[in-house]
Amino acid sequence: MHLERCLFWRGELQRADLIDAFGINPIQAAKDFRAYMERYPHNMEYNKSRRRYLPLPGFAPKLIEPKTLDEFAGISSPLVPVADWPLPNRRATPQVLLAMVAAVRERQKIEVQYQSMTGEKPTWRWLSPHAFASDGERWHVRAYCHSRDEFRDFVLGRILTTRHVKSSEINRSDDHDWATLVNVLVTPNPNLAPEKRQAIALEYDLPPKSMEATLSLRQSMLFYVKAKFHPEVNDVPAAHQLFVEQIR
């Protein structure tokens, strides 16, 4: 697959690309190239003058299905410039990640120092974590909070440190909002002009006729979906390209 990514993105390929990516020796790299050319003879050829493999005019990926630049942006190419938004990364310390993953895996109760947005100072609390979830921008740990006596979401990056662990008596199946799947209807904002709705439907790979898709997600994540697509601070249709509604 990496072979095709390089052909698609860079427009060329050398043995070093496979050697550096997978730590294989030149002999193995040569075998991989030969096997690919035997299987897909119309996709690639070796150019002796340039001393590299090039895609043939009829090149069509067989092992990958390019739909987003995310899978190619990490492959450097002098001919295809890429710029990322210079946003700060949301992160947790390796120690916190190690402790929280272990607590989920071993079904433990763990004491964490957490900085909430409602309290002035970080506080210690006992959590029984059982799962992780992403809202597309940051990671949360789903856990039973022994201080609040309920299941809640905790932003992983706001866990400052951890200390004691114990065996947990909490059953993850009791987390109703996590266990319950809900369906949401996704469609371009009905308040946009028809041609703009069609463009958005094409962008998000929605059916061209109905321009609707039904997605299933955990009920505990519904809050983040609504916050992302239905912010109350801006009622300009162009700012709300997708309309998301829970199906009862």
SS3 percent helix, strand, coil of the chain, rounded to 5, is 30, 30, 40
pLDDT bin (cut points 50, 70, 90) of residue 33 is very high
Query: What is the pLDDT at residue 225?
Result: 83
Task: Look at the domain 2-71 and name its fold.
Answer: Arc Repressor Mutant, subunit A (1.10.10)
Whether 115 contacts 105, CB under 8 Å = no
Block residue for tokens 């895996």: 105
SS3 114: strand
For the full predicted model, state whether its pTM sits above 0.85. Answer: no
| Cβ-Cβ contacts under 8 Å for 93 (sequence gap 6 or more) | 161
Residue 240 or 9, more confident: 9
Using the predicted structure, report yes or no on whether residue 240 has a pLDDT greater than 60. Answer: yes
Which tokens belong to 109?
């109760």
Which of 234 and 189 is assigned the larger pLDDT? 189
Strand partners for 183: 216
C-alpha angle with apex 170: 168 to 176, nearest 5 degrees? 155
| Spatial distance between the Cα atoms of 138 and 117, rounded to a whole number of angstroms | 15
User: How much is the average pLDDT of 16-29?
Assistant: 90
Predicted pLDDT of residue 45: 95
